[in-house]
Structure 1
């Protein structure tokens, strides 16, 4: 879902990417700045109960996350380092988003079930990309599944924003529960995919 939006955003961001490159800004600087903005916003806005503002700002940066990639392709700097940096810093952003929700619902939000589900999303959300990275390190593939990162973030941010605008907290509780379940299923799907490949190699 969010991946398709990013495809459209890449075309919109091309003029901005060109302008930044002309100004001497590097793709890595954009990656790092975007991550810092997401982390700071998530760890300030969510723990203080500003769910809508936090979701809005983070969603904006999520949609423009492909800006560094557009810049790298334009400047001929696409390569493994940029991909590694982007994927690594994504983990900081994801962690901050769900950690911020955990802090809010443990404290001022006063909803421990929602906090537990946000924590589950945080943990399982880190296992999903690890399964893929570990598989690729072993020469296999483990992409796909029902809960890709972009979709998980979009759904979580929409639910958080809705609660921030006055929707009942149960909306976010249900969404986080479904996301945690979908993440768990995705981990199992990726494990099964790797298992099939491993069995095929030994046959």
Structure 2
């Protein structure tokens, strides 16, 4: 949902950076891989250990490279099909590492089992939401939009971890419960979007 409102503003900030990196001879796929590796390592090292503030900040910084590689692709006149598949694959890997690490912490050192269960719902639900869109597009249908997309998942998950790390009780639990509910709603929205697209396809 945030993509509809923030994309233009974000692009104005990231496009100059993307052009600069391309000018230095760096490819967008390189940035994608480095950002993914950094986000995964920070997720699985810092979050399960209870270093929520540091982990949330570092993961956020690496996740932001996802905006930079897109700007680099635009600077090159458009991304490649391989780059698109690589980017989507890396997104799923980061999502899995982040919410898996949050679930691990919540169910062990954090002693917040409800947050752990909600994190698992977010992990699985987020993967399915993305799969529905990809599968629909593979058969010529559309499944755009939804209440909670990847940007919202990352913002709520990382913000909840950060605030919880500052000592606010149940901050992560509340954030993940809201996110889990929103993810389930989004899955329903995506399925309905595919159904509408399928009904319209024969007339088109």
Task: Tell whether the structures are fold-level matches, with TM greater than 0.5.
Answer: yes
Question: Could you tell me whether the CA contact under 8 Å between 2:129 and 2:187 is conserved in 1?
Answer: yes
Show the 5 A alignment for 1:157-172.
157-168=158-169, 170-172=170-172
- 2:113 maps to 112
Task: Give the distance between the partners of 2:132 and 2:99, measured in 1 at CA.
Answer: 20
Alpha-carbon offset, residue 202 of structure 1: 6.1
Question: Could you tell me whether the CA contact under 8 Å between 1:6 and 1:66 is conserved in 2?
Answer: no
Question: Could you tell me whether the CA contact under 8 Å between 2:112 and 2:173 is conserved in 1?
Answer: no
- 1:179 maps to 179
Alpha-carbon offset, residue 92 of structure 1: 0.4
Are residues 1:188 and 2:191 paired? no
| RMSD of Structure 2 on Structure 1 (CA) | 2.0
TM-score, normalisation: structure 1: 0.90
SS in 2 for 1:110: coil
Show the 5 A alignment for 1:126-137.
126-137=127-138
Alpha-carbon offset, residue 63 of structure 1: 3.0
Alignment gaps of 5+ in structure 1: none
Alpha-carbon offset, residue 201 of structure 1: 4.5
Deviations 1:44-87 (A, max 9, x none): 11011011111111222333321111112212352322222111
Report the CA distance shift for 1:197/1:75 in structure 2 as closer, same or farther (over 3 A): closer
TM-score, normalisation: structure 2: 0.90
Task: Give the distance between the partners of 1:60 and 1:9, measured in 2 at CA.
Answer: 15
